[in-house]
Amino acid sequence: MADPGAASVRTPSRVHIVGASGSGTTSLGGALAARFGHRHLDTDDFFWVRTDPPYREKRPREERLTSLRQALRASTAWVLSGSLCGWGDPLIPEFELVVFLVVPTPVRLARLRARETARYGRHAIAPGGDLHRAHAEFLEWAGRYDTGGLETRSRALHEAWLVGLPCPVLRLEGDRSIDEQVAAIEAWTSRGSPSTLRARTS
């Protein structure tokens, strides 16, 4: 016999995934978009001018906002990863669901070190390397996420931003695999109500 509640379950068409640097928003965004058959977009592609090395020059606020709005409205279903608190607030009404990733700082920093090494090479970011200073400053900035104020990308800023959202917020806490995170989001859609899902501790 069919589940009478099954007809009411609907995959959200417009999902935003936010979290600290190194929390895995981009990886989860790509996996979730593939699972749902949605387009994947990332805020970094709109926030930064393409340079070599990357992430050195910011786009003007209105330019990045206009470009991102056009990209979102070009698709009926998408997953947007990254952070747009403040500059992207006019896009908040577009979201049907926001997923907030909370990952322990040591885990995030280990991921970031590995990512930077793969991207630039070990020698470039080592002491004496061309990118060592930028690498060290980036890790220092990322490490302040849990203690930073509202003036920077921080836990405090994200928590304050989440409170004002008109859509449901799903929190995924702990060091979880991508498959576990996707499964948790699918479980949430089947229930259709906000919740906090924590990683197993055993």
Q: Spell out the domains of the chain, with CATH numbers in brackets.
A: 14-196 (3.40.50.300)
Q: What share of the chain is helix, strand, coil (3-state, %, to 5)?
A: 45, 15, 40
pLDDT in tens, 21-76: 999 999 999 999 999 999 999 999 999 999 988 888 999 999 999 999 999 999 99
Q: What pLDDT was estimated at residue 5?
A: 43
> How far apart are alpha carbons 1 and 75 in whole angstroms?
36
Enter the pTM of the model: 0.86
Cβ-based burial of 152 (10 A; exposed 0-12, middle 13-18, buried ≥19): exposed
Tokens of 70: 């056009």
> How far apart are alpha carbons 58 and 45 in whole angstroms?
10
CB 178, CB 28: distance < 8 Å = yes
Q: What pLDDT was estimated at residue 92?
A: 97
Task: Name the strand (E) or helix (H) holding 169.
Answer: strand 169-173
CB 135, CB 65: distance < 8 Å = no
Look at strands 169-173 and 78-81 and give their pairing: unpaired
Q: What pLDDT was estimated at residue 93?
A: 96
Q: Which residue carries 């006019």 as its tokens? A: 90
Q: What pLDDT was estimated at residue 130?
A: 87
Q: Is the per-residue pLDDT at 161 higher than 50?
A: yes
Q: Is the per-residue pLDDT at 17 higher than 60?
A: yes
Q: How confident is the model at residue 197 (pLDDT cuts 50, 70, 90)?
A: very low
pLDDT in tens, 94-136: 999 999 999 999 999 999 999 999 988 898 888 988 889 988 9
Strands (E), the chain: 14-19, 39-42, 78-81, 97-102, 169-173, 196-198
Q: What pLDDT was estimated at residue 196?
A: 46
Q: What pLDDT was estimated at residue 199?
A: 39
pLDDT in tens, 140-151: 988 999 999 888
How many CB atoms are closer than 10 A to CB 98? Answer: 22
CB 170, CB 188: distance < 8 Å = yes
